[in-house]
């Protein structure tokens, strides 16, 4: 995870909103000289837009915490899956099961031991949706492979290990836990993703977004006081950036 990217993105949205509030304060200070024709550039609509942007950002932060918690909780049951699968293969190999079943089980175990799942722990809101989707598919495949492995064990009457964690019932419980934790990540990502979309619409819509509105406010003040005026220099120093990534 790139912590620099995370920091830049998370503070970027907040800085835009904070600078917008400063912009409004400057405009209020111009008193009757600040009198734009366009309705969206008037003080009250500017304040409403600021409040909406702040609320959208807060909601996104809340949903992100929920998503991060679900992602962290998922990592725990998956952490020992490879080791557990190897133990299963060893137990099956000495259980008296037929060679074909053992080979099939080994083939599935190779898939489980393959590419490691890349955790999306503390996923920054700059993470691309396709990256999250790839990670999700990886977890889905691990669950599917583990389920297929259990299916082979269930068909082998000779597979009766004494170790509690290797028994069929324990493995089915493990599988259910994996499925539940994985589903929690999926369901928590949906409101998080929707919150990001709503936040980005409020801040970065090319026609009505906060960043575009700030640009228009600057242009108006420039037209009133001139490009070399103290007033314009006050607000021109306020930086607004469009954060392209989530």
Is 142 in contact with 192 (CB distance < 8 Å)? no
The model's pTM: 0.79
Say what the alpha-carbon torsion angle 195, 196, 197, 199 is, to the nearest 10 degrees. 90
Mean pLDDT of the chain: 89
> Could you give the CA distance from residue 101 to residue 97 in angstroms, rounded to a whole number?
7
Whole-Å CA distances, 75 to 58, 79, 106, 166, 178: 26, 6, 24, 20, 9
Q: Which of 7-11, 160-164, 213-217 has the lowest mean pLDDT?
A: 7-11
| 34 secondary structure, DSSP code | -
CB 165 within 8 A of CB 100: no
State the Cα–Cα distance between residues 99 and 140, nearest whole angstrom: 28
The average pLDDT across 221-233 equals: 97
**Distance between alpha carbon 171 and the CA centroid of its chain, in Å?**
30
Is the per-residue pLDDT at 150 higher than 90? yes
Mean pLDDT of the 15-29 span: 98
Whole-angstrom Cα distance, residue 168 to residue 44? 65
pLDDT at residue 191, rounded to an integer: 97
For residue 119, the model assigns a pLDDT of: 47
């Amino acid at each position: 995870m790139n912590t620099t990217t995370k920091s830049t993105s998370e503070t970027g949205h907040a800085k835009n909103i904070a600078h917008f509030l400063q912009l409004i304060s400057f405009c209020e200070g111009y008193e009757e000289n600040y009198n734009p024709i366009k309705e969206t550039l008037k003080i009250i609509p500017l304040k409403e837009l600021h409040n909406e942007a702040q609320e959208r950002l807060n909601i996104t932060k809340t949903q992100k915490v929920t998503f991060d918690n679900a992602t962290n909780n998922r990592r725990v049951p998956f952490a020992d899956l490879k080791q557990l699968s190897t133990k299963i293969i060893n137990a099956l190999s000495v259980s008296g099961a037929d060679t074909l079943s053992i080979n099939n089980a080994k083939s599935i175990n190779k898939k489980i031991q393959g590419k490691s799942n890349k955790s999306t722990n503390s996923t920054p809101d700059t993470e691309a949706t396709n990256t999250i989707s790839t990670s999700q598919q990886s977890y889905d495949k691990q669950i599917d492979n583990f389920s297929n492995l259990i299916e082979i064990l269930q068909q082998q009457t000779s597979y009766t290990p004494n170790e509690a964690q290797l028994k069929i019932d324990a493995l089915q419980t493990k599988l259910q836990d994996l499925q539940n934790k994985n589903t929690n990540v999926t369901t928590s990502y949906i409101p998080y993703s929707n919150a990001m979309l709503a936040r980005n619409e409020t801040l970065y819509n090319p026609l009505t977004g906060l960043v575009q509105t700030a640009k228009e406010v600057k242009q108006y003040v420039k037209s009133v006081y001139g490009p070399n005026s103290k007033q314009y220099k006050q607000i021109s120093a306020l930086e607004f950036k469009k954060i392209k990534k989530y």
